[in-house]
Amino acid sequence: MPEHLSVTHNRSKVLCMKCSLLVIAVLVVVVLVYLPAARYSLVYDDHEQLETNPRLTDWRHVPGYFTTHLWAHSPLQAPNYYRPLSLLFFRVEYAVGGHPALAFASCLGVRNYLPVWESDLTLFTRAVEQAPRNPYVKNNLADAYLKANRTAEAFPLLQQAIKLKPDYGLLYYNMARYYRMIGDYRESERYFTISDRLYPGR
């Protein structure tokens, strides 16, 4: 091999090696930065969207991602979210990782790295701070308090949310849960009746 070609070849090998080392270094840094996310759990709608979503379990559901809304499997969720590529991504994660929640946690753990995502309570407390007149986030925070058995903190949030959005059936459902938890079954039944009227298919 001519000397000038040999020099060029060696330079190319050195350049390729440097590029490989740079890529490895970047990957190592990314893993180290996002590794703490592994200690956080899924929150709020992650469970319904990833763990119990039947639409992620079979490739035959994929065409429906493009013709229906994100929450087509859950009649109580808002029908105004169209996310076919997100659903397709979750389906691929399910197929590759065997479980969408685990795959989601590993691929999108960056989100959970933020302290506000540590739990439903931290997430929706921050949401209410940012949108104090939004009945939906108030309901979500109240739901988180009910799940944590902190009924006294859930009650005023539900009262406020009902004043803001009196036709939102899920608020009455959660208010019924509140009264049932504190042992007032008469009021609980009354709120369940209102919830059933606003959400007849529940």
- At 100, which amino acid appears? P
Do 63 and 94 have their domain in common? yes
Q: What is the pTM for the complete model shown?
A: 0.51
Sequence-ordered strand ranges (E) for 57-174: none
Domain hosting residue 30, numbered range: 3-35
Same domain assignment for residues 49 and 95: yes
What's the CA gap between 202 and 200, in Å, rounded? Answer: 6
Over the stretch 69-91, which tens digit does the pLDDT of each residue have? 888 887 766 667 788 888 888 88
Question: Which residues in the chain come in under a pLDDT of 70?
Answer: 1-10, 34-45, 47, 76-79, 97-118, 200-202
H helix runs in 35-108, sequence order: 45-46, 62-65, 84-97, 100-107
- Are 133 and 184 members of one domain? yes
pLDDT at 115: 59
Question: Do 21 and 44 reside in the same domain of the chain?
Answer: no
Number of domains, the chain: 3
Is the same domain home to 129 and 181?
yes
Looking at residue 113, its pLDDT comes to: 46
